[in-house]
């Protein structure tokens, strides 16, 4: 029997509705959550992301502020911008869109964001809060994965969760969030030997390595829940055939656009998994929903 498909679009919409309702309640008390987005230079992918974040703010009643310093911006200028945003009363969340121009010290800029306004959850203070189970702001994508599992009634406590990937943005916080919910967690990466043997033990397998179709059916325990965090654009015909041969809908899309989006999980995994997030329409829609939820949370935490 094919896997149950976990609909991230529907779960993301549910979270957005809950945030919008709370924003309305806060507005009645004279508070309006505010999000500032800093977009330096002209990265087309970043511009699309930022547009969708600003649009989400508008839809949910959150105040948004978009700052667009030029490509030539210096580290010092950006640090000055962050310092101003840190003290602004109408700004609860600050998001620095990565990547920053090459001459900018990204680490210094991210570190300058006040931990209480760090809606990306990247600041070492928030990393510390996550690992010691204190209230804080935690990274949006892994937080979204937890929402998918909980809202789909998939038990976490006592289960063996395997996380593929150890990035600071997804892999590490993902492992910590699962650990904090009483899963037994194994983290795999490029230096892990016998990776297949490890992934086959997983009740919950989270793939976040950015390698299209890396997780094949022989890597998955029958009935496991598989969460696909990866998104790669496929433009090569050979790669397309490896993943989507015989998929009429994908064929049409590839013929029209010359590309399609694939996750880290091979489509054949649907035949063995118990539950699976699709790409697109799985984890992606949760990332912006959780950013909105973090902005609301930052507002509530700041105002007690």
pLDDT per position as a tens digit, 97-122: 999 999 999 999 999 999 999 999 99
Give the CATH number for residue 164.
Answer: 3.40.50.720
Mean pLDDT to the nearest integer, 205-212: 97
Q: What residues does 184 pair with on adjacent strands?
A: 160
Residues 215-241, mean pLDDT to the nearest whole number:
96
Closest CA to 64 of 87, 29, 88: 88
The residue ranges of DSSP E strands in 97-171, in sequence order, are: 160-164
Domain contains 1 = no
184-216 burial, b at 16+ Cβ within 10 Å, e below that, comes to ebbbbeeeeeebeebbbebbbbbbbbeebbbbe
Please report whether residue 210 resides in a domain: yes
Same structural domain for residues 155 and 191?
Answer: yes
In a domain, 299, yes or no: no
| Catalytically active residues, by annotation | 53, 97, 120
* 187 bridge partner residues: 163
- What domain range is 98 assigned to? 29-114
- The SS3 call for residue 228 is strand
Give the other-Cβ count within 10 Å of 170's Cβ. 25
Question: In the numeric block, which tokens belong to residue 18?
Answer: 């809950």
**Residues 49-61 pLDDT 10s:** 999 999 999 999 9
**Is 297 part of any domain?**
no
Instruction: Using CB atoms within 10 Å of the CB of residue 105, give its burial: 0 to 12 exposed, 13 to 18 middle, 19+ buried.
Output: middle
Q: Is the pTM of this model over 0.75?
A: yes
Number of folded domains that form the chain = 2
The answer to whether residue 229 sits within a structural domain is: yes
């Amino acid at each position: 029997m094919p896997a149950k498909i976990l609909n991230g679009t529907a779960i993301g919409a549910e979270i957005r509705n809950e945030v919008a309702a709370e924003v309305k309640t806060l507005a009645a008390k004279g508070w309006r959550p505010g999000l500032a987005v800093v977009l330096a230079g002209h990265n087309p992918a970043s511009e699309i992301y930022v547009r969708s974040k600003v649009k989400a703010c508008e839809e949910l009643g959150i105040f948004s502020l978009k700052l667009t310093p030029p490509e030539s911006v210096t580290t010092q200028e950006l640090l000055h911008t962050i310092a101003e945003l840190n003290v602004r009363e109408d700004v609860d969340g600050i998001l620095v869109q990565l990547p920053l121009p090459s001459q900018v010290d990204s680490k210094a800029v991210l570190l300058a964001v006040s931990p209480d306004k760090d809606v990306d959850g990247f600041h070492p203070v928030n990393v510390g809060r996550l690992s010691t189970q204190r209230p804080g702001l935690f990274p949006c994508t892994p937080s979204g994965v937890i929402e998918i599992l909980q809202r789909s009634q998939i038990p976490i406590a006592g289960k063996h969760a395997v996380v593929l990937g150890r990035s600071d943005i997804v892999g590490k916080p993902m492992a910590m969030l699962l650990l904090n919910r009483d899963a037994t967690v194994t983290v795999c990466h490029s230096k892990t030997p016998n990776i297949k043997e490890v992934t086959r033990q997983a009740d919950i397998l989270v793939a976040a390595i950015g390698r299209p179709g890396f997780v094949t059916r022989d890597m998955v325990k029958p009935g496991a829940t598989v969460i696909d965090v990866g998104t790669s654009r496929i433009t090569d015909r050979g790669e397309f055939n490896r993943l989507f041969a015989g998929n009429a809908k994908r064929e049409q899309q590839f013929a029209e656009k010359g590309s399609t989006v694939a996750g880290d999980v091979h489509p054949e995994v649907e035949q063995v998994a118990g539950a699976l997030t699709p790409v697109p329409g799985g984890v992606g829609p949760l990332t912006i929903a959780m950013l909105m939820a973090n902005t609301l949370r930052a507002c509530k935490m700041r105002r007690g």
